[in-house]
A and B are shown apart, each in its own frame.
Chain A
Amino acid sequence: MSAVDFAIIGAGPAGMAAAIEAAGLDLSVAVLDEQSEPGGQIYRGIEKLLATRPQHAAILGGDYLRGAELVKKFRAAAVDYRPGSEVWSASSGEGVFYRREGASGHVRARQILVATGAMERPFPVPGWTLPGVLTCGAAQTAFKASGLVPQGRVIVAGAGPLLLLLVAQLVRAGVRPAAVLETTCNIRAALKHAFAFTNAPDYFRKGIALLRELRHAGVRVERSIDALRIEGNGRVQRVEYERRGKQSRQEADVVLLHHGVVPNGNLAWSMRARHVWDDRQRSFRPHVDRWGRSSLQNVLIAGDSGGIVGAIASEYGGRIAALAAAEACGRIGASERDERATYLRAEYDKHVAARPFLDVLYRPARRWLAPHAADTVVCRCEEVTAGSIREILARHNCPGPNQLKAFTRCGMGPCQGRMCGLTVIELLAECRHAPPADIGYYRIRSPIKPVTLGELAALDVE
């Protein structure tokens, strides 16, 4: 067991920026991260990529390269960085428990920062469990971390900035998707946020440049897809989709799905942080104040794990949380904290101003969130379908997701609801005619990562 002032979980933009800021204020800092290198998902593998295959940086583009500077500063900071650490429990009373290379670790901290980032929203369509179906983020990760690209006929489906970016990156890498199927583009509803979006630094220009690049490359985007079904025997073989009442099918080897990102929240849920429903992002997020302080004493949450804000705002959010931690630990006074936060908060606000437009523009329609096709697998682990969930909800008085678990085992598998939680909330909300805020969420319990009994037994806890 060790003890530090500030334990940070996650080495993405928020976690790294918080660590640098906190170390600069003389806090003792430990950073625990699952990956073997710093960067989070957005800057995944950046050190190794630049060292061993720098020619691939151009394929990923400038927003990725931006991470190199942050990672360099993070490496130079006086921080106890523990890569390859899977955190399975955390609380301000007991500290942070993790596994690292088959051994157990435990660190106590006066302040804890949850910076676990984002994950892609579940995309439940028939066939999404077939081998060869991955998320768009997974395809990016395969390239960033390992220089891999999808093989054969590739179909990209869904909506969101990351989907368009991935298609551009695939084309730059010489992989031309056989089809790009866009499910969502709520331009009319998003217009009222357009002014804020065009004023936020660079996002509008980058979006236009990306769309222009795809057009020049001759990538055809099929818009307004209403339904999607992936078929195959033991692996992906074809995709069937519906557009304005017309059915089409397309042979495929790899299907890449994306419906935006949501907070990667199992750690915050397991800590019992209070959550609120964010209707614009169609997701729960932890309740945090303007310092990133959660409902739990001594627990801060920053970056996308506190609600999707994007990579750059996550850096500022991380730094603001570090100031709060430094003040709480007595390293700086409240007035110095406030003074230092002024600039950071102004920058943060500038960048989050881009979010409402993007959130609304790419918010998936209800039929994608609460699937109707009865054979759609909702819970990938326990293989519970939308049809069986709807049937249970029609027959029984099932007030929430935890009762549904008891009826169906939905959410009881190894992913602990990460892949089905939001879909289950949407199904319950629809069937019970209640807002998701009233439905609530699974009661997530630690350990939130697989731990062996041997590792538990080896823990040295007094």
Chain B
Amino acid sequence: MFKPLPDSRAPDVRVIVDGREIMVSADLSVAAAVLAYAGGVTRTTPISGTPRAPYCLMGVCFDCLMEIDGVQNRQACLVPVREGMRIERQSGKRTVSP
């Protein structure tokens, strides 16, 4: 959905999105990384199961909720990417492990 301008910072950080390794540049938030390098979709909704992608990129729409390094419901637009970060799309409702 988005692409880096050719003269933007080159990908230099490795993250894992849904088990797949991708290279992204260090000045991306997780949401921006998904928009540019992983098809854009961050989650499916708990109600109808339809896909969502980031809408506001500034922390107010909560459509970029993802599981990041094992923590569910993180606002991906507020989390900078980090080397080795594990990012999972959220599908439907959240779960609690007893």
CA distance A84 to B51 in the complex (A): 28
Chain A residues whose CB sits within 8 angstroms of the CB of B3 once the complex forms: 148-149, 151
Which residues 43-96 in B have Cβ within 8 Å of A in the complex?
45, 47-48, 50-63, 65, 71, 73-75, 78, 80
Contacts A142-B35, A147-B9, A234-B51 hold; do A419 and B60 have CB atoms under 8 A apart?
Answer: yes
Whether A138 and B55, one on each chain, are in contact in the complex, defined by CB atoms closer than 8 angstroms, is yes
Stretch with Cβ within 8 A of B (4 or more), from A106-114, A128-136, A271-279, A304-312:
A128-136
B32 touches A380 (CB 8 A): no
Given contacts A137-B58, A146-B27, contact A131 B51 (CB under 8 A): yes
A22-61 CB contact bits vs B (8 Å, 1 = yes)? Answer: 0000000000001110000100010010001101100000
A residues less than 8 Å from B9 (CB atoms): 52-53, 147
Contact residues of A between 115 and 148, Cβ < 8 Å to B: 119-120, 128-129, 131-135, 137-138, 141-142, 145-148
Contact of A148 among B2, B48, B56 (CB under 8 A): B2
CA–CA, A427 to B57, complex, Å?
26
The smallest C-beta distance from A166 to any residue of chain B, in angstroms, reads 13
Which of A186-194, A410-418, A438-446 is found at the contact surface with chain B? A410-418
- The yes or no answer to A150 lying at the interface (CB within 8 A) is yes
Most chain B CB atoms below 10 A, which of A142, A173, A254:
A142
- B73 engages A450 (CB within 8 Å): yes
Chain A residues with CB under 8 A of B13: none
Interfacial chain A residues near B4, Cβ < 8 Å: 146-149
Residue of B nearest to A254 (CB): B1
Chain B interface residue bracket vs A: 35 or more
From known contacts A147-B8, A415-B62, A419-B61, infer whether A138 and B56 are also in contact, taking CB-CB under 8 Å: yes
Instruction: Give every chain B residue within 8 A of A120 (Cβ-Cβ).
Output: 56
Q: Is A426 an interface residue (CB 8 A)?
A: no
Report whether A132 and B1 are in contact in the complex, using a CB–CB cutoff of 8 Å: yes
| Residue from the list B8, B48, B59 in contact with A146, Cβ < 8 A | B8
Question: In the complex, are the beta carbons of B27 and A134 less than 8 A apart?
Answer: no
Main secondary structure of the interface of A (DSSP, over half): loop
Measured in the bound complex, the distance between the Cα atoms of B60 and A419 in whole Å is 8
Interface of B is mostly: loop
Looking at the assembled complex, report how far the CB atom of A215 sits from the nearest CB atom of chain B, in whole angstroms. 24
Bound CA span A137–B77, Å: 13
Question: Which residue of chain A has its CB nearest to the CB of B65?
Answer: A414
**A102-B71, A450-B73 are known contacts. Are A149 and B62 too (CB-CB below 8 A)?**
no
- CB of B7 within 8 A of CB of A53, answer yes
Interface-centre pick from A128, A129, A148, A235 (highest chain B CB count, 10 A): A148
Contact A147 B55 (CB under 8 A): no
Does A359 belong to the interface (CB within 8 Å)?
Answer: no
Q: Verify B65–A86 contact, CB threshold 8 A.
A: no
Contact between A86 and B78, CB atoms less than 8 A apart: yes
Query: A135-B56, A138-B57, A414-B65 given as contacts; is B2 within 8 A of A45 (CB)?
Result: no
Contacts of B65 in A (CB 8 A): 414
* With A52-B9, A120-B56, A146-B29: A151-B50 Cβ-Cβ less than 8 Å: no
Alpha-carbon gap, A240 to B64, bound state (A): 26
Shortest distance from the beta carbon of B12 to any chain A beta carbon, whole Å: 11
Q: Is A89 an interface residue (CB 8 A)?
A: no
In the bound complex, CA of A45 to CA of B27 (Å):
9
**Interface check B22, CB cutoff 8 A:** no
| Chain B: minimal CB distance from A5 (Å) | 27
**What's the nearest-Cβ distance from chain A to residue B30, in Å?**
11
Which residues of chain A are within 8 angstroms of B74 by Cβ–Cβ distance?
450
Asked if A141 and B57 make an inter-chain contact with CB atoms under 8 angstroms apart, the answer reads yes
Which residues of B sit under 8 angstroms from A36, Cβ to Cβ? 80
Tell me, yes or no, whether B28 is within 8 Å of chain A by CB: yes
Q: Is A383 interfacial (CB 8 A cutoff)?
A: yes
Contact check: which of A86, A134, A152 meets B55 at CB < 8 Å?
A: A134
Assuming the A-B contacts A41-B58, A129-B52, are A149 and B5 also in contact, with contact meaning beta carbons closer than 8 angstroms in the complex?
A: yes
Is A226 an interface residue, CB under 8 A from the partner?
Answer: no
Interface pairs (6), CB distance under 8 Å: A55-B7, A56-B8, A102-B71, A131-B52, A146-B25, A149-B5
Q: Lowest 6 A-B CB distances belong to which pairs?
A: A147-B8, A131-B53, A138-B57, A415-B62, A414-B62, A148-B2
